[in-house]
Amino acid sequence: MTQVTSSISPQSASRSPASRPLTSQPSISQQPATAAGHRSWQHQALSLGLALYARLSSDGAARLIERLAFTPQRLPMPSRYEHLLEQADSHTQLHVGTRTLPVYSWGEGPVVLGVHGWSGAGIQFGAFIQPLVAAGYRVVLYDAPAHGRAQGERTDLYEMTEVLTRVGELFGPLEAVMAHSLGSLAAGRALADGLSARKLVLLAPPASLSEVVDALGVQMGLSAGALAQHRARMEARFGPEVWQRLALDDLAPQLNQPGLVVIDDQDRAVAPAQSARVYHRWPGAELLRSEGLGHHRLLWHDRVVEPVVAWLSA
């Protein structure tokens, strides 16, 4: 059995040298050999296919990369919690353009809003529902466009930020926002732009969209030229400021909320060093470190759920 430990570092001790070991670890974008070693045969086939396609049409390959980059994979719903969707105290629908998104809530009291990551779904926070309701909170979860049970095939972080803001304003005032993975980028942007929440929990937050794109390039096996072309297409689509606006390590100093950053030392999707950078740049943050959970298990393991609920209730 994998040994799992966790501990919260209070702010008064969080800036000491002893609390900084994670910052010495290389980020995902600095580990091409390691990332390549873990790629599945599907990713290797995709890399070869893109390289061959680029020889025929570099522009066509760039369009395909862009399409893939904005198409979530819709990970399977966690079966242990999916039944909770049918037991929600309320179920409403949010309309975004021609698409319908589901929004669920459980309990009564101050609102805790969950924000899932890329290819995820709101019910990934299922382990938090009963403990938070028992602690007197109302838990609100939703599926972003092209995720979970929501309609749509493609989306982007700007749209996810807009949806988060709309849900937050609809169900606010918010006691807390609790975001996972890339959902942390959307949460940071929304709060910096004026969404109000008293507390913020970030679980496995990436440091920036730029590093996420670098990691995607490694995963797809993109050449330096193909990655540069993809970046240029993103800047043409969203503006050259896209990297700065979705850099959580730059947004962190602007966050006024008390915060909790959750980092697992065996996270292979978001390098722990990236999450540590967010923590160290966030003046009001505390740190919860776990061992052996990886990127997704920290969403339901009691070694994370219990201290997070206790921190929110403090």
Q: Give the residue among 303, 289, 311, 313 at the shortest CA–CA distance from 127.
A: 303
253 pLDDT more than 70: yes
237 pLDDT more than 60: yes
Confidence of residue 37 (pLDDT cuts 50, 70, 90): very low
**Mean pLDDT rounded to a whole number for the chain:** 85
The matching CATH number, chosen from 3.40.50.720, 2.70.98.10, 3.40.50.1820, 3.10.129.10, for 6-10+22-41+80-211+240-313 is: 3.40.50.1820
Other CB atoms within a 10 A radius of the CB of residue 189 amount to 23
Confidence of residue 74 (pLDDT cuts 50, 70, 90): confident
Query: Could you tell me the two tokens for 305?
Result: 């759920």
pTM: 0.84
Confidence of residue 54 (pLDDT cuts 50, 70, 90): low
Query: Could you tell me the two tokens for 309?
Result: 């609920």
Confidence of residue 49 (pLDDT cuts 50, 70, 90): low
Query: Could you tell me the two tokens for 158?
Result: 């700007």
The pLDDT tens digits for 184-232 are: 999 999 999 999 999 999 999 999 999 999 998 888 777 888 888 889 9
Cβ pair 264, 293 in contact under 8 A: yes
The pLDDT tens digits for 269-288 are: 999 999 999 999 999 899 99
